[in-house]
Structure 1
Amino acid sequence: MPKETASKIDTQAADWAARIDRAPLTETEQAVLDAWLAEDMRHLGAFGRARAIALHSERAAALAPGYRAPEKAPARRHILMGGAGMAASLAVATIGGLAYATRGEAYATHIGELKVVPLSDGSVVSLNTQSRIRVHYSHDLREIHLEDGEALFDVARDARPFVVRAGETRVLADATAFTVRHLDSQPVQVTVKRGAVSLQAGNSTPVRLTTNMRAVETAPERIAVAAITPAEIDRGLAWREQRLAFEGETLADAAGEFRRYSDTRIVIDDPMIAREQITGLFQANDPVGFSQAVAASFGLRAEVGDGEVVLHR
């Protein structure tokens, strides 16, 4: 049998990714996909790339209403070279490259780094800056430990449960997309972009979250749940494009967010300045540019020093 070309494999992978995005696969379709993935390691790699591209296509569409995703997966060289449009978006958002997860593997990002990790079942994990996960796949369970940071999980349908653990919090999902935020000294936060998950904090009663819902662990084994808008979810996922979106946050909170993406600190000694609220979309790795924009808006001064920028009157 003639060997399949890379172009043909990419096209088939894109077709499967598009089919999954339209609706959950039937048991028959899932069996066909599983068989196709098992035929050739190149199938798995192409499918992982197609799923990752689909995630960033959604983000591009949200940022630019006139955007239309290509019908077929772009050639691999476009992804690696960081061409225009969607391919450029992917190249920016996958700094550190695509890493293919296997059983028991750990993946991490450094400060300012983002990474996309396609999993063996077709699921995709997008890691935000300073994040660390450990993947444990077995015959009867798909489990990921989010040891630190923030991640977006786009889960493929599979007979095995998909579980994300963050500290004492446990999220059970299937064929859905959701984020988990697990930062030091901050409560665990779970946001559902699509589908539904079951959330349990410690030994508390599980809580069901559906599309456009967010839950925050307010205390040990206590969870607060709220409905949010799609726009709020898009703002929360702006980090996939290396951006930070603020909508009424204080300058102190904004400065804290920028510290996760850059070694340059934003210093605000005046409590009145720290309480000022900010709205806008900013480059996550440019705290100096952010500080200068803030200074111009609030009539402040931004003094750039060694490893820091000080905002004052």
Structure 2
Amino acid sequence: MQESIDGLRMKQDKANKIDQEAAEWAAKVDRALSSDEQSDLDLWLSGDIRHIGAFGRMRALALQTERVAASGPLHSSYNASPEEETTQPSRRRFLLSGGAMAASLAGMATAGWWWMKPEHILTHKGEMRQIALQDGSVVTLNTASEMKVRMTEKGRHIELISGEALFDVAPDKTRPFIVSSGDTAAMAVGTSFIVQALPGEPVKVLVREGIVEVSRKRDEGKRPYRLKANMSAVSLPAETDAISDAVLVNNISPISIDRALAWRDGQIDFQGETLQEAAREFARYSDTRILVAPGLAGEQIAGLYQTSDPIGFAKAVAESLRARTEISSGEIHITK
């Protein structure tokens, strides 16, 4: 009995040590690494599979800490003085540096802060969140998205109710990582992939790294569609199955993956989309509506735009098309 207790204690001590080291690396990354430090970090990450998960958790904790503190009293238990409340918050003010930050993050991990064990998570329009899961995987949730998380001994289950998310999955062959949306499911072990489930559109899966198997409940008995890096799948609605494949699989370029993830930097990357399609995309991020005159709706556009600036986008496009913009409360009209 004592040997068993001692064994558990040693295991916990080892886990705590890994968390502490991960927190120290997270603090160093925040202030930017030298080339030698980057090499040391790469070596540390490759030394033990648990290092990757711990580091991912600490990085997500750091980002979440910044987000909570910067949100003010409504989102944080920290009570600022009147002088502090009038001061413009800075990233350095809320992210502690060096050993202080490392100790803080390690303490959060040990205490099990709420974002370490999420169950029902959502983002509002224009918001993006990064969440560290219990297993070391990290989810980046795009605007107006909602998901549920359920972790068991045999599997890791995510239900993407709506929206879009990037999943950086910690390897664990004994516990498949399954993301479902409607009747479509994407299963991975250790990989990086995107799932998009927008209202009125088919579910889409894009694979950045590793292998993902896509299946559907109504296709029970069929072999899943196996996607490798730089491949995509579109799960067509039931009414189209009679005239088309159930899931359309395509090869895509790494550049297309990068474009699809521009939202992580608060941007939208257009390359040949119509102006009407661009207006719908901006509606995912802002309540300010972009209304396009019928004669301009089919015009193709290209460029990188800020998700938070629909007015700037409309003015830039109007100028290139020799059109006009009319701005009213909550609406932007692009007309000839």
TMscore range, shorter length = 0.7 to 0.9
Give the whole-Å Cα distance in 2 for the aligned partners of 1:50 and 1:208: 35
Please tell me whether residue 11 in structure 1 is matched to residue 24 in structure 2.
Answer: yes
Match 1:124 to one of 124, 133, 138: 138
Q: Residue in 2 aligned with 1:102?
A: 117
Q: 1:79 to 1:276 in 2, by over 3 A?
A: farther
Identity across matched positions, percent? 39
Unaligned runs of at least 5 residues, structure 2 = 1-12, 29-37, 65-90, 98-112
2:165 touches 2:196 (CA, 8 Å); kept in 1? yes
Cα distance in 2 for residues equivalent to 1:156 and 1:239: 22
What SS class does the counterpart of residue 199 from structure 2 fall into?
A: coil
Residue 271 of structure 2 is aligned to residue 253 of structure 1: no
Match of 1:212 in 2: 230
Structure with more of its chain in helix, by fraction: 2
Is residue 110–residue 130 contact of structure 1 (8 Å, CA) maintained in 2? Answer: yes
Deviations 1:148-186 (A, max 9, x none): 000000000112111001111011001100000001110
The within-5 A match list for 1:148-167 is 148-158=162-172, 159-167=174-182
Alignment check: 8 A CA contact 2:165 2:195 kept: yes
Structure 1 residues 82 and 246: alpha-carbon distance in aligned structure 2, compared to 1, 3 A threshold: farther
One-letter amino acid of the structure 2 residue matched with residue 128 of structure 1: N
TM-score by length of 2: 0.69
Per-residue Cα deviation, 1:51-109 (whole angstroms, up to 9, x for no partner): 99xxxxxxxxxxxxxxxxxxxxxxxx6494699xxxxxxxxxxxxxx972426x11100
Task: Name the structure 1 match of 2:212.
Answer: 197
Alignment partner of 1:289: what SS?
helix
Shift of 1:203: 3.2
Distance 1:44 1:298, change over 3 A: closer
Residue 202 of structure 1, CA deviation: 2.4
Q: Residues 207 and 141 of structure 1: is their aligned pair in 2 closer, same or farther, counting only changes over 3 Å?
A: same
1:303 aligns with 2:326: yes
The corresponding residue for 1:29 is 48
Structure-2 change in CA distance of 1:229 and 1:11 (3 Å): same
Counterpart code for 1:160: R
* TM-score under structure 1 length normalisation: 0.74
Ranges in structure 1 where 5+ consecutive residues have no aligned partner: 38-42, 53-76, 84-97
SS of the aligned residue for 2:315 comes to helix
Q: Which runs of 4+ in 1 moved over 3 A?
A: 6-9, 11-15, 47-52, 77-83
2:184·2:217 contact (CA, 8 Å) conserved in 1?
yes
Q: Structure 1 153/99 Cα, relative in aligned 2: closer, same or farther at 3 Å?
A: farther
- Larger of the two Rg values belongs to structure: 2
What do the CA deviations read for 1:285-305 (whole angstroms, capped 9, x no partner)?
111100000010000001111
Task: Give the distance between the partners of 2:252 and 2:27, measured in 1 at CA.
Answer: 31
